[in-house]
């Protein structure tokens, strides 16, 4: 543990892993073999393109079910649309790492316009923040720390966090920050928010042209403000909560 501060978490064991018998993919010191590392570094562009199309297909099918089946399907579709936002976020994460497509232009264009902006995310800004997260995970300048610092927490604190997320209070606060970004004096922030909201207007317009304008606020915006916030907190805590900070970056 580093210092006597809050339990910030970490992903490194307290002691080195002892050497053992190597395998086809792992050397005796526990590191992946160079051949295995090269294999993992290859970007499967075709498979990832199918993943992007699949996420769009699943999302559209859910919305069709909501329209065709009516109120009986609304609650399950509403909950599943939180999953859709999680899928968009996962693909956007890969694009931010430039692991979505081998072609950098395709990676960035798809990551911004087909994945990030529809899901209210500036992929380029996310990339900068996320790289800071990887440079100093659980350190004092960790940008994601508020999501998972000081775990385990007591039950009352956990319930408060879940209520804020599920009720939309967290999402509305963050969305208000994005709306304020439209008037930002920083041109990069202003332009990125203009693009995000342009795409949102397009999505609303498509719904309106199809005669189902209500699909956008009920099954896209509201799940983003509520269900997705719960999922995102659960994911963050599951990945990082309750672990120990360490200077060992090995």
Collapsed DSSP state (helix, strand, coil) of residue 96 = helix
Q: Dihedral sign, CA of 221, 215, 166, 113?
A: negative
Mean pLDDT on 175-204: 96
Residues 6+ apart with CB under 8 A from 187: none
* Per-residue model confidence (pLDDT) at position 169: 98
Side-chain half-sphere exposure of 184, counting CA atoms within 13 A: 16
What does the alpha-carbon distance between residue 170 and residue 37 come to, in Å, rounded to a whole number?
A: 39
- CA 75: distance to chain centroid? 23
What does the alpha-carbon distance between residue 42 and residue 218 come to, in Å, rounded to a whole number?
A: 39
* Per-residue model confidence (pLDDT) at position 231: 97
Higher pLDDT, 228 or 242: 228
* Per-residue model confidence (pLDDT) at position 189: 92
Q: Does 183 score more than 60 pLDDT?
A: yes
Helix locations, 97-226, DSSP H: 104-109, 123-135, 145-148, 155-167, 169-181, 187-209, 215-216, 222-225
pTM of the model: 0.82
CB 92 within 8 A of CB 119: yes
Confidence of residue 143 (pLDDT cuts 50, 70, 90): low
Higher pLDDT, 117 or 22: 117
pLDDT in tens, 109-137: 999 999 999 999 999 887 887 666 656 66
Structure tokens at 243: 């672990």
Question: Which residue's structure tokens are 């979505």?
Answer: 100
For residue 55, which of 104, 78, 89, 79 has the smallest C-alpha distance?
89
pLDDT in tens, 36-73: 787 777 899 999 999 999 999 999 999 999 999 999 99
Domain edges within the chain: 34-136+164-240
Confidence of residue 153 (pLDDT cuts 50, 70, 90): confident
- CA 20: distance to chain centroid? 36
Confidence of residue 242 (pLDDT cuts 50, 70, 90): low
Q: Does 162 score more than 80 pLDDT?
A: yes
Collapsed DSSP state (helix, strand, coil) of residue 30 = coil
* Per-residue model confidence (pLDDT) at position 130: 64
pLDDT in tens, 190-206: 999 999 999 999 999 99
Other beta carbons less than 10 A from residue 143's beta carbon? 13
Confidence of residue 9 (pLDDT cuts 50, 70, 90): very low
DSSP string spanning 114-128? IIIGGGT--HHHHHH
Residues 6+ apart with CB under 8 A from 77: 62, 63, 65, 66, 219
Q: Does 3 score more than 70 pLDDT?
A: no
Q: Does 243 score more than 90 pLDDT?
A: no
């Amino acid at each position: 543990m580093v210092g006597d501060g809050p339990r910030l978490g970490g992903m490194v064991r307290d002691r080195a892993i002892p050497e053992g018998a190597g395998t086809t993919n792992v050397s005796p010191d526990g590191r992946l073999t160079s051949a295995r590392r090269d294999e993992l570094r290859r970007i499967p562009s075709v498979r990832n393109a199918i993943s992007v199309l699949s996420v769009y297909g699943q999302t559209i099918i859910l919305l069709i079910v909501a329209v065709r089946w009516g109120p009986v399907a609304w609650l399950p579709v509403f909950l599943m649309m939180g999953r859709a936002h999680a899928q968009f976020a996962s693909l956007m994460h890969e694009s931010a790492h430039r692991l979505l497509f081998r072609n950098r232009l395709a990676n960035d264009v798809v990551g911004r316009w087909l994945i990030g902006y529809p899901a209210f995310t500036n992929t380029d800004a996310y990339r900068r923040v996320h790289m800071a997260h990887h440079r100093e995970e659980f350190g004092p300048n960790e940008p994601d720390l508020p999501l998972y610092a000081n775990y385990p927490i007591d039950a009352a604190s956990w319930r408060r966090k879940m209520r804020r997320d599920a009720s939309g209070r967290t999402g509305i606060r963050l969305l208000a920050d994005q709306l304020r970004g439209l008037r930002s004096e920083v041109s990069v922030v202003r332009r990125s928010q203009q693009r995000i909201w342009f795409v949102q207007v397009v999505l609303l317009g498509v719904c309106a042209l199809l005669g189902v304008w209500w699909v956008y606020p009920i099954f896209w915006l509201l799940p983003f403000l509520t269900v997705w916030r719960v999922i995102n907190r659960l994911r963050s805590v599951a990945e990082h909560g309750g672990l120990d900070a360490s200077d060992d970056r090995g």
